[in-house]
Copies of this chain bind each other. A is one copy, B any other.
Amino acid sequence: MNQSLIEYKECSDCPIRHRAVCARCEGEELDHLESIKYYRSYTAGQSMIWAGDRMDFVASVIEGVATLSQTMEDGRTQMVGLLLPSDFIGRPGRDIAPYHVTAISDVTVCCFRKKPFEELLVTTPQIGQRLLEMALDELDAAREWMLLLGRKTAREKISSLIAIIARRDTELKALLPSGEVSVVLPLTREAMADYLGLTLETVSRQISALKKDGIIQLEGKRKVIIPDLETLMEETGDDTDGGPLY
């Protein structure tokens, strides 16, 4: 998360910096559109949107990482999604935010006015298709997370989280996902706990245990060195033969 997914380029038509190539959407460009309203920035840790807020816009994350979370009255909170560059916040036909959105790193979003955006969906089917694909991918991710939350042990949860981050990092860098890998955890222990349905103490203990067992090494609190990704994968409880089937 420490390296930008986006290259920007200047545009002669308007004063806004435009996304040129996004690593996740394969060069597709959605943002040079009439319906762009404005860009907006948030600093790490800032609450971007509160559950219940009125949303008169649809936003797309341009840079940075944000989280979606839900909270119960007594304060128990569960993270339910990560928002990465190219992900959308808000949705057509619903104007109250159902989740709390928090910036994890510094975040820039590109906001579309709701009405024009909805019209766009009708006039430009490929945008709708792209959104459908993204929604289905998120649904798959959410379901994988349900397995983790419902059935995995604390150690498996932590291992899964580290493995997922490592895998995404290596994918981004187009490296082979094997051998020694090092990643920087973009989350505090507490955020990890919220993500995994654990307490921060348990997260800390399990990380220490993985370290003691030589599965991972630590450099400071956040940087994790994985001597062998395969070994870590064995701790996740996932199918060993090659991750997701599809």
A residues in contact (CB < 8 Å) with B: 51-52, 68, 70, 72-74, 76-78, 80-81, 91-94, 96, 98-99, 121-122, 125, 128-129, 131-133, 135-136, 138-140, 142-147, 149-151, 196-197, 237-239, 244-246
Using Cβ atoms and an 8 Å threshold, which residues of chain B touch A142?
139, 142-143, 146
Closest 9 CB pairs of A and B: A150-B197, A149-B149, A80-B143, A135-B135, A142-B142, A78-B150, A125-B125, A78-B147, A76-B151
- Name the distance in Å between A75's Cβ and chain B's nearest Cβ: 10
Q: A128-B125, A146-B145, A146-B146 are in contact. Are A237 and B139 (CB under 8 A)?
A: no
A135 touches B146 (CB 8 A): no
Question: Quick one: closest B residue to A51, CB to CB?
Answer: B245
Question: Quick one: closest B residue to A93, CB to CB?
Answer: B133
A147 touches B72 (CB 8 A): yes
- Name the distance in Å between A114's Cβ and chain B's nearest Cβ: 14
Question: Quick one: closest B residue to A238, CB to CB?
Answer: B72
- Name the distance in Å between A151's Cβ and chain B's nearest Cβ: 4
A138 touches B139 (CB 8 A): yes
Using Cβ atoms and an 8 Å threshold, which residues of chain B touch A93?
133
Question: Quick one: closest B residue to A74, CB to CB?
Answer: B237
Determine which residue in A52, A131, A146, A238 has the highest number of CB atoms from chain B within 10 A of its CB, and name it: A146
Q: A143-B80, A147-B80 are in contact. Are A244 and B132 (CB under 8 A)?
A: no
B72 touches A151 (CB 8 A): yes
Question: Quick one: closest B residue to A132, CB to CB?
Answer: B132
- Name the distance in Å between A60's Cβ and chain B's nearest Cβ: 15
